[in-house]
Amino acid sequence: MESYSYGISSWLARLAALTFALAVYLALHRRFWSPLALVPGPRLASITRLCHAYHIFKGDNSTWTRALHKQYGHFVRIAPNEVSVSHPDGPALILQASLRKGNWYRVFSLPDYRYVNTPSILDPKERAQRTRLFAPAFLSSNLLQAEPRFDAVLGQLFGRLDAHAAAGRPLHLDRQLSFAALDVAGEALFARPFGFAAAGRDLDGHLAKGRAANCYAAVAGHFWTLHRLLAANPLITRTGLLAGGHVMRSTFAALRCAEAKATDADAPSSPSVVDHWTKAGRDNPEVLRPVDVEAQIIITVGAASDTVSCAIQSFVYHMIANPTSWARAREEIESQRAQGFCKDPVVSYQDSQTLPYLRACLHESIRMFGPSPMGLARVAPAGGLSIGGQHFPEGTTLSINPNVMQQSKECWGEDAEEWNPDRWFAEDISSKLKYWMAFGLGGNKCPGENLARIELFKVAATLVRDYSIRQVDPENKWQWEGYITRVPHSWPVYVEKRGV
């Protein structure tokens, strides 16, 4: 018996020693013998993805990546097979080219791997085919049919601002903007809001749950096999262990209504995105399964609300920190009001397009602090890819962090880290748009860009026209975490209503 136990212990010891030896060999190979061994970066990052994952989990991935590029230059090895690129030629060669996306994007298959949507598709040709079916629903002409419904939601937002202004109470504007963005997304997608703006509070803890899910998914995308085993599998979906709460329940209820309406010839039509997508699924069953339509809706709800909320917050935060810009934008609006524009309770999108300085401020605020903190990853094609004299072999993951490019002095000039809306009136601004990545670039550009623009312009114009806003503590710097999207918070404000 003792001999038997000794034999097991001996084999376990040998197995442990072998495992250790393989781990050491793998670490040495990645560090010194990999084709990327000469690319600079943190030593630990060249050995394991855990270094990168730690900063994602910490919420400072974009800040960490910017610091690395300042230290090491255009190319930084942030994981054993991933290089972050900040070379000016990078956006055109990586993002505007038709390259396969990095494996991280598979995490967007929600709620499990069966649900394929455009963000989770890695192959560019397959994604383009799917996008052609979904994109028409996001044409401005289609979305603007729902503008009166958007105005109803935004009216609830501004009504809450009015109440706080009258009472002189501090307001957590970040939360109210998030509620409005969620409900505008609901109106666009389903022709019905989720109810956040009307309630003025977080329903079913959605924001808190969303922040946790955002953090988990940002990390889990780099460990797909484990994620698929633990969370992204049909068994977990069927058991409901990871239920999405109020928004998910509302999403599937609205989808069922849309499907019923699609089969009812007498049902009144409504200009909603889901109506378009449901019809696209019926007309193209060989390409779009019902589960694919569901997958696209699920991912769009989050993308259409989180990114827009962050962008509007960035606009307000930077504008109140630069009161001269707020005053100049208001003067522009008043000039247009004198000509009969911008007089609706909520400024119309059409009227907002007569405000070039406001547009410049929106673009500049997103340049200074945009919604996307993650590197946009693509895979080097057959034969590899050369950028700025550096060659990367086939299969290398090359990523571009929007935050890095949007504040690059090499791309934007010596004042790249400073607020300057007037840069958007420069003669050469068109040559710099490839470095402004609010909605991505190339074939993977965000399909919801038009919806985001409509909401951003309407909210920004109405806020500047009707309100004066200041932080409760003028010295306060907002807080934020950067997971899949940036989540700003903790900057309460006082709101004053203007007599207009």
Pairing of strands 376-379, 397-400: antiparallel
Q: Which residues contact 309 (CB under 8 A, 6 or more apart)?
A: 174, 177, 178, 181
Place of tokens 């797909």: 224
Distance (Å) of CA 298 to CA 109, 193, 347: 9, 15, 29
Q: Is 383 left (phi over 0), alpha (psi -120 to 50) or beta?
A: left
Separation between Cα atoms, residue 92 and residue 95, nearest integer Å: 6
Separation between Cα atoms, residue 457 and residue 395, nearest integer Å: 41
Helices 245-262 and 273-283: angle between axes, nearest 10 degrees = 60
Contact predicate 457/349, CB 8 Å:
yes
**Residue 306 CB neighbour total at 10 angstroms:** 24
Separation between Cα atoms, residue 192 and residue 207, nearest integer Å: 19
Q: What's the token pair of residue 380?
A: 């080097």
Nearest to 356 by CA among 327, 336, 380: 336
CB burial of residue 166 (10 Å; 0-12, 13-18, 19+) = exposed
CB burial of residue 76 (10 Å; 0-12, 13-18, 19+) = buried
Contact predicate 308/181, CB 8 Å:
yes
Separation between Cα atoms, residue 162 and residue 88, nearest integer Å: 45
Is 51 one of the annotated binding-site residues? no
Give the alpha-carbon dihedral of 432, 434, 435, 436, to 10 degrees: 100
Place of tokens 């909520």: 346
Q: Which residues pair with 482 in a beta bridge?
A: 60, 486
Bond preceding residue 111 cis, omega within 30 of 0: yes
Q: Which residues contact 440 (CB under 8 A, 6 or more apart)?
A: 95, 372, 376, 446
Q: What's the token pair of residue 451?
A: 């919806």
Please state the residue numbers annotated as binding site: 446
Please state the residue numbers annotated as binding site for heme: 446
